[in-house]
Amino acid sequence: MDFVKNGLLVEAQFSNYPFLLNNVVRSELFFKARTPLAGHPVRAVVIIAKAHMFDASNSTLYYEQAVKQLNSLAANDVFDSPIRLVGLFERTDGTFNARFNEYHAARYSRTLVKATLRCANARAGRSADSRCRIELGDEVRPG
């Protein structure tokens, strides 16, 4: 569980897609058992997932995948708990600042060597289900 307050259990689902089923079934068990978490039984579950509009690591769960998986489970009456799925999307109609990090090694390093803040613009893909394109602008100067 990532967050619990007043009977609301929240799962921030940003890891590999197989964890969704594990987290949802565990949440359902807490709901059915009326397990008190932070002093209140679970009354509802919120799952947060990022949209498929940007590239991410292999096996990452996307909102669009979560919709399909949860709909399949719900169609087969797996859940009694109320579940709300929230998708995180970025606007594709304006400029935003993006931080680009360089690490000590290309893979698996957590040692930050340099961070650069640049202007960026997300452009919608060619179709409704395609990923966005990122157009990079100049480096952002502090001040």
* 131 and 82 belong to one structural domain: no
- Number of helices (H) and strands (E), helices first, in the chain? 2, 9
Q: Which residues of the chain have pLDDT under 50?
A: none
Same domain, 17 and 82: yes
The verdict on 132 and 79 lying in the same domain is no
Q: Are residues 64 and 30 in the same domain?
A: yes
CATH no. for residue 83?
A: 3.40.91.20
Check residue 129 and give its pLDDT. Answer: 62
Last residue of a domain, one of 50, 72, 88: 88
**pLDDT at residue 110, as a whole number:** 86
pLDDT of residue 96: 81
- Residue 58 pLDDT: 66
| Prediction pTM value | 0.69
What is the pLDDT at residue 119?
Answer: 87
- φ and ψ at 4, to 5 degrees? -140, 130
Take residue 35 and report the two structure tokens written for it: 């397990």
Q: What is the pLDDT of residue 77?
A: 92
Same domain (yes/no): 52, 68:
yes
pLDDT at 80: 93
Same domain membership, residue 10 and residue 73: yes
Say if strands 8-12 and 3-5 run parallel, antiparallel, or are unpaired: antiparallel
Instruction: Give me the pLDDT at residue 127, please.
Output: 66
* Cα 85 off chain centre by: 10
Q: Are residues 116 and 49 in the same domain?
A: no
Cβ–Cβ < 8 Å for 23, 13? yes
Question: Residue 142's pLDDT is what?
Answer: 67
Number of domains in the chain: 2
The domain in which residue 39 lies consists of 3-88
Q: What is the largest CA-CA distance in the chain?
A: 56
pLDDT the model gives residue 75: 94
